[in-house]
Amino acid sequence: MALLAILQYPDERLHKVAEPVKQVDARIKQLAADMAETMYAARGIGLAATQVDVHERVVVIDLSEERDSLMVLVNPVITAKDGETTYEEGCLSVPGIYDKVTRAERITAEYLDLDGNSHTIEADGLLAICIQHEIDHLNGKVFVEYLSNLKQNRIRSKIKKRERENM
């Protein structure tokens, strides 16, 4: 396994739409393992392949405290949404930035597992939010794009300032 570099907002590559995985093979299994290791090392709860500059539809999620409940979703698609909830989100591609985003409260999604088997999941709460957040990444959207232009500009300024300080 290997730690992968996580793209940082506003990197344009975060806006590239991921392609469907044609075949779940050893390469995709290795990608998922590397993504999981990267997510755990960064202390995240979810990571989309787009965030590590691989533009294929693969997501890893683990909401457990013990970090022992890894979910891998290949080619995930939300098939139903219900309700509305607002949650303070963060993102490994936008470190240190948190803000409230309104999303569907409950979702149904279809995906493939690492054996290529099809599954349907019904999710609510944090899992529903996380799946929506990661699928947004696959579609080239970062959570800060739900915020006002003023907040987006402040975030960009904060990130540029942080980059200057780290030079």
Annotated binding site for Fe cation: 91, 133, 137
- Cβ(60)–Cβ(133) under 8 Å? no
How far is the C-alpha of 110 from the C-alpha of 102, rounded, in Å? 22
Active site residue 134: yes
Burial (CB count <10 Å: 0-12, 13-18, 19+), residue 96: exposed
Catalytic residue among 84, 134, 163, 165: 134
Tokens for 30, please give them: 């290795």
Binding-site residue positions: 91, 133, 137
Burial (CB count <10 Å: 0-12, 13-18, 19+), residue 137: buried
How far is the C-alpha of 7 from the C-alpha of 52, rounded, in Å? 6
Which residues are designated catalytic? 134
